[in-house]
């Protein structure tokens, strides 16, 4: 209680200081991040610290100003790049002006007064997915409809705010009995109603900026690492969560520190993957129904990025998931080395530590490498002990290869060792609800992927992708027990599991080869249309109807081989 009062008092004192440049965050799915990466590869942008996402609208506005200035100094832009730059400048126009001019623009309704400004806008997203092949007697259809709205603005030149909400419904050819039956994976708590599944997500937060220091409080999302999408440390795979975030810029240094409030995997009959996270000692009966209280779960994370040279950024990050108690003072300290703090607290938490490097020497090339360690047995560091858990990710982007303008060529390889992200205490599993906080591949997996992207004037674009993915899943033995090879995020080590040896791609091995393409049209942002088709050849892969990612092992339909076609279509207005 004393700690809570102290933290609250410190925040109130800090918030009463003279603040400037209120700015909320750019949603992680915004296409502007790809635009920024392109100019970083060209050598136009240096030391922006974009491994810490989301960027604020103020940061995005300053990046656009830099590109505009370089253009005025003679930087050549293609017709498509000029068009995208003007679209982004129009969207972030208010954020390019001095504080007090209104951080909100666009939307259905905009209001401005001497105290500040805000804008109200709608959110809409219609997604349609059609799957064929792989032993299906008929096509499998999934339709997801989201409808909601957002409010964004600033107050008294000191505070930025954003709140959004979207109600979603999924339906099609599936029968929704278990959480596993829902195709959407970034879920909070769905309501399963046989022919349909309803779920929703909302975010709401305040930002307070003072010089080069920014504090955010509320419910939001984040992603850390050099990868443009999935990252090893923190990725955009789980729903948003409550957090307190500190961001500091000190010359070439950029620091972010987060205290997060996670939700445990829902221990309900319709969620077979989530056993062990309910507090059986704190359950009671209300109106004839047993109510089990959920246990507390926390996230602490910090990331430091340093522009050691104009062409190279280095990053260091630590993340720790802990539960069954309140906030830990050692983890609240943004400067504390979490690995040492965990030892101080009794080695009962789940700490990940990572380093990465981002190279962008110009000439249209950007390369990156990331390495994350979940645990190390120092006495047997070079052994195959299951406790030595690591993952690495490396990739490269080539902009305008061989003189082909408005073209991006990317290649990436990811390898994630068995047991990473798991923990012997289910409450400490590296997940929020039942969705991974880290990379979507999960433990005991690797993937090699190549992408070719082409942009056109008029808001058009297309992308071709080819990938090879392998995954070693745990096995169900003839007696119904599970042979745990460290291939399931949701199942950590148990008494009787093998400890002395881990083998990459042990267990039920699936191999997938995918080729596909998509085309999109941003006729006037934030309105967009996206359509794609992919075909996947697989061996040892889960078969329908319960075949998707995150399905509990005991709920799997079975394994087999065959091809699968996937057609997708999306109509969208706005970003959650």
Does 15 fall in a domain?
Answer: no
> How many alpha carbons fall within 13 Å on the CB side of residue 463?
16
CA angle 549, 552, 556 (to 5 degrees): 85
Binned at pLDDT 50, 70 and 90, residue 37 comes out as very high
Residues 497-531: tens digit of each pLDDT: 887 788 999 999 999 999 999 999 998 778 999 99
Query: What is the crossing angle of helices 32-41 and 79-91, to 10°?
Result: 130
Does 141 fall in a domain?
Answer: yes
**Domain CATH for 127:** 2.40.160.130
Confirm whether pTM is higher than 0.85: yes
State whether the Cα torsion 366-356-221-266 is positive or negative: positive
Does 431 fall in a domain?
Answer: yes
Does 14 fall in a domain?
Answer: no
**Distance of alpha carbon 322 from alpha carbon 264, whole angstroms:** 11
Indicate the Cα dihedral angle 71, 76, 80, 86, nearest 10°: 10
Does 51 fall in a domain?
Answer: yes
- Backbone dihedral angles phi then psi of residue 477, each to the nearest 5 degrees: -80, 165
The number of domains in the chain is 1
Residues 382-428: tens digit of each pLDDT: 667 777 889 999 999 999 999 999 999 999 999 999 999 999 899 99
Does 10 fall in a domain?
Answer: no
What is 150-205 written as a DSSP string?
Answer: EEEEEETTTEEEEEEEEEEEEEEEEEESSGGG-S--S-S--EE-EEEEEEEEEEEE
Q: Which domain holds residue 236?
A: 21-573
Does 12 fall in a domain?
Answer: no
- Backbone dihedral angles phi then psi of residue 431, each to the nearest 5 degrees: -150, 160
Does 535 fall in a domain?
Answer: yes
DSSP state of 242: E
* Contact between residue 236 and residue 28 where contact means Cβ atoms under 8 Å apart: yes
pLDDT at residue 275, rounded to an integer: 67
Q: Which residue has the higher pLDDT, 176 or 102?
A: 176
Mean pLDDT of 124-128: 97
């Amino acid at each position: 209680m004393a700690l809570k009062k102290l933290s609250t008092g410190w925040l109130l004192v800090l918030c009463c200081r003279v603040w400037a440049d209120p700015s909320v965050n750019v949603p992680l799915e915004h296409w502007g991040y790809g635009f920024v990466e392109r100019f970083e590869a060209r050598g136009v942008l240096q030391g922006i610290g974009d491994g810490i996402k989301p960027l604020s609208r103020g940061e995005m506005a300053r990046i656009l100003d830099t590109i505009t200035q370089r253009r005025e100094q003679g930087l050549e832009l293609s017709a498509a790049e000029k068009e995208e730059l003007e679209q982004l400048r129009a969207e972030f126009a208010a954020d390019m002006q001095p504080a007090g001019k209104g951080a909100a623009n666009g939307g259905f309704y905009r209001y401005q007064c001497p105290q500040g400004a805000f804008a109200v806008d709608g959110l809409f997203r219609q997604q349609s997915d059609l799957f064929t092949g792989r032993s299906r007697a008929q096509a499998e259809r999934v339709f997801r409809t989201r409808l909601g709205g957002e409010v964004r603005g600033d107050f008294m030149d000191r505070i930025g705010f954003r709140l959004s909400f979207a109600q979603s419904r999924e339906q099609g050819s599936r029968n929704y009995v278990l959480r596993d039956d829902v195709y959407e994976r970034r879920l909070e708590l769905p309501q399963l109603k046989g022919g349909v599944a309803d779920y929703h997500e909302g975010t709401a937060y305040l930002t307070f900026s003072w010089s080069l220091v920014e504090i955010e409080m509320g419910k939001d999302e984040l992603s850390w690492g050099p990868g443009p999408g999935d990252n090893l440390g923190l990725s955009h795979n789980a729903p948003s969560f409550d957090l307190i975030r500190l961001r500091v810029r000190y010359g070439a240094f950029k620091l972010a520190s987060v205290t997060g409030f996670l939700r445990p995997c829902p221990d309900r009959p319709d969620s077979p993957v989530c056993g062990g996270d309910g507090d059986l000692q704190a359950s009671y009966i209300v109106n004839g129904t047993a109510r089990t209280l959920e246990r507390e779960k926390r996230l602490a994370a910090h990331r430091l990025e340093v522009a050691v040279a104009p062409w190279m950024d280095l990053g260091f990050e630590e993340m720790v998931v802990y539960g069954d108690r309140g906030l830990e003072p050692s983890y609240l300290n943004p400067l504390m080395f979490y690995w040492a703090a965990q030892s101080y607290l009794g080695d009962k938490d789940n700490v990940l530590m990572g380093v990465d490097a981002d190279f962008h020497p110009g000439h249209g090339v950007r390369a990156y490498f990331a390495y994350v360690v979940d645990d190390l047995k120092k006495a047997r560091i070079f052994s195959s002990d299951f406790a030595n858990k690591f993952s690495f990710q490396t990739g490269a982007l080539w902009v305008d290869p061989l003189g082909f303008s408005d073209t991006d060529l990317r290649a990436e390889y990811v390898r994630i060792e068995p047991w990473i992200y798991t923990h012997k205490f289910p409450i400490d599993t590296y997940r929020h609800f039942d969705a991974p906080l880290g990379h979507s591949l999960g433990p005991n997996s690797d993937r090699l992927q190549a992408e070719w992207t082409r942009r056109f004037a008029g808001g058009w674009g297309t992308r071709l992708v080819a990938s090879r993915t392998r995954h070693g899943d745990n096995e169900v033995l003839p007696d119904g027990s599970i042979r745990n090879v460290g291939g399931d995020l949701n199942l950590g080590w148990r008494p009787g599991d093998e400890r002395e040896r881990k083998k990459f791609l042990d267990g039920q091995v699936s191999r997938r080869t995918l080729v596909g393409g998509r085309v999109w049209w941003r006729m006037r942002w934030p309105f967009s249309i996206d359509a794609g088709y992919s075909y996947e050849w697989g061996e040892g892969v889960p078969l329908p109807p319960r075949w998707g990612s995150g399905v509990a092992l005991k709920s799997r339909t079975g394994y087999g081989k065959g091809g699968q076609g996937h057609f997708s279509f999306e109509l969208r207005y706005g970003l959650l």
